Amino acid sequence: MLENLQEQPKDKILALMEMFRADPRAEKIDLGVGVYRNAQGVTPIMRAVKAAEKTLWETEETKAYTGLAGDPAFAEAMRGLVLGDAVEAGRVAAAATPGGTGAIRQGLELIRLASPGATIWLSAPTWPNHPSIIRYLGMPMREYRYFDAAARGVDFEGMMADLAQAKPGDVVLLHGCCHNPTGANLTLPQWQEVAALLEKTGATPFIDIAYQGFGDGLEEDAAGTRLIAARLPETIIAASCSKNFGIYRERTGILMAVAENAARKPVVQGNLAFLNRQNFSFPPDHGARLVTMILNDAALRADWQAELEEMRLGMLRIREALAAELRRLSGSDRFGFIAQHRGMFSLIGASPEQVELMREKHGIYMVGDSRINIAGLTEAAVPKLAAAIIDAGV
Ligand code: LMR
């Protein structure tokens, strides 16, 4: 039987991670996978996470199963973090999932149950695992224009023109903030226009929010999601705690489905629990419990927010330093977009050959589409990266 298996295409981001590990050069720089690193190049365990883990170790008395949808307290804490008071709690069904990817997978399966044959609209470009999972599930998909490669910003006109073709029952996948891979984001007035267009077409929004707190701030980064959820009858949201709590390997995420009214919620909730049972039964609990403890304790929450803010501001400083160094070296403002983009990523506009050259000659690893992870860069490494970008002729 196993001889029938074919090689699967490698995930480009994860393949790059392996290549980086295998490179013996000491001065190599990893700008690939979306993992935050501090000035020392370390992915730290956040202070509040450490403190919560200590308390948990001292007080946790059982590892017995939680509920199929995870601990309701986690769902409640995450509803508050992502949605604030944008919608009534009684309309929000939610289930804990293994990471943000798990939430996306469960969300797509929910969509397939609710609207078989639904076309999923994806931004061009998007996180490569979006189309990969959709293809694997055999669901139809289409792209909408999103990134204007010349202006290195959002092609909003193209986006609106393409999304105008969405049909009722279709689903539009939107990045809640910190667009991956481009770093170019919608403004609040643009979110308003997207909401109006979704209303008009009858398509359902599916929001992937994996970097809340990495862009303009915790509240600011949730504003688009809240606006959509407040305005549309139904919204599906996949949220990740991997990045903003720095608990990547704990696999902590949540799928939320905002139902049209409270009467509809129990059936939606039942479907979320059913899907968890089919795919992995009970979701992982450790990370979810830490997040719940942090969000529900004023002191831990304040410390977490302060550290997250330090991380966010550090990324902004690096964006500015890189843009300034590139301005100095190129004598032009053509890399100014790096300081304008938000979140971990920017697409810097290098060709695949230029990306390869930077890897081979300078030991700088970025994804083939020239996505760089700003949080993988230290201030000390900025001059080296800027010089390599200019040397490669970008
Ligand atoms: C990324 O885009 O690098 C992250 O979301 C990590 C991943 O799983 O790809």
Asked if this assembly's ipTM is beyond 0.85, the reply is yes
The catalytic position among 162, 208, 221, 285 is 208
Is residue 243 flagged as an active site residue?
Answer: yes
Whether residues 83 and 198 share a domain: the answer is: yes
Domain end (from 296, 320, 343): 296
Question: Residue 10 C-alpha to ligand 1 middle, in angstroms?
Answer: 14
Q: State how far the Cα of 177 lies from the Cα of 329, in Å rounded to an integer.
A: 31
Whether residues 150 and 208 share a domain: the answer is: yes
Q: State how far the Cα of 375 lies from the Cα of 243, in Å rounded to an integer.
A: 11
Any idea which residue has 């020392």 for tokens? 40
Ligand 1 atom showing the smallest separation from residue 13 Cα: 9
3 state SS of 23: coil
pLDDT of residue 11: 87
Ligand 1 atom showing the smallest separation from residue 181 Cα: 2
Whether residues 290 and 349 share a domain: the answer is: no
Whether residues 100 and 248 share a domain: the answer is: yes
pLDDT of residue 352: 96
- DSSP designation for 10: P
Length of the chain: 394
The CATH number that applies at residue 134 is 3.40.640.10
The CATH number that applies at residue 31 is 3.90.1150.10
Q: Can you give the residue range of the structural domain that contains 216?
A: 65-296
Is residue 28 flagged as an active site residue?
Answer: no
pLDDT of residue 39: 86
Q: State how far the Cα of 253 lies from the Cα of 73, in Å rounded to an integer.
A: 14
How many domains is the chain built from?
2
109 in any annotated domain? yes
Q: Quick one: residue 334, left, alpha or beta (phi over 0 = left, psi -120 to 50 = alpha)?
A: alpha
57 in any annotated domain? no
Is the distance from CB of 234 to CB of 259 less than 8 angstroms? yes
Domain end (from 296, 326, 347): 296
Q: State how far the Cα of 123 lies from the Cα of 145, in Å rounded to an integer.
A: 6
Whether residues 200 and 126 share a domain: the answer is: yes
- Return phi, psi of residue 44, to 5°: -80, 155
3 state SS of 376: helix
72 in any annotated domain? yes
Whether residues 92 and 175 share a domain: the answer is: yes
Please give the helix or strand (H or E) that residue 259 lies within, else none.
Answer: none
pLDDT of residue 41: 86
Question: Residue 129 C-alpha to ligand 1 middle, in angstroms?
Answer: 8
Domain end (from 269, 296, 323): 296
The catalytic position among 162, 195, 243, 386 is 243
Q: State how far the Cα of 353 lies from the Cα of 351, in Å rounded to an integer.
A: 5
Q: Average pLDDT across each block of 10 residues of the chain; the chain has 394 residues. List them in order.
A: 95 92 95 92 95 98 97 98 98 98 98 96 97 98 97 97 97 98 98 98 98 98 98 98 98 98 98 98 98 98 98 96 98 96 96 97 96 94 97 96
> What pTM does this model have?
0.96
Q: Is the peptide bond before 125 cis (omega within 30 degrees of 0)?
A: yes
- Protein residue closest via CA to atom 1 of ligand 1: 34
56 in any annotated domain? no
pLDDT of residue 279: 98
Residue ranges around ligand 1 (CB below 6 Å): 13, 33-34, 127, 129, 180
The catalytic position among 210, 239, 339, 386 is 210
Is residue 184 flagged as an active site residue?
Answer: no
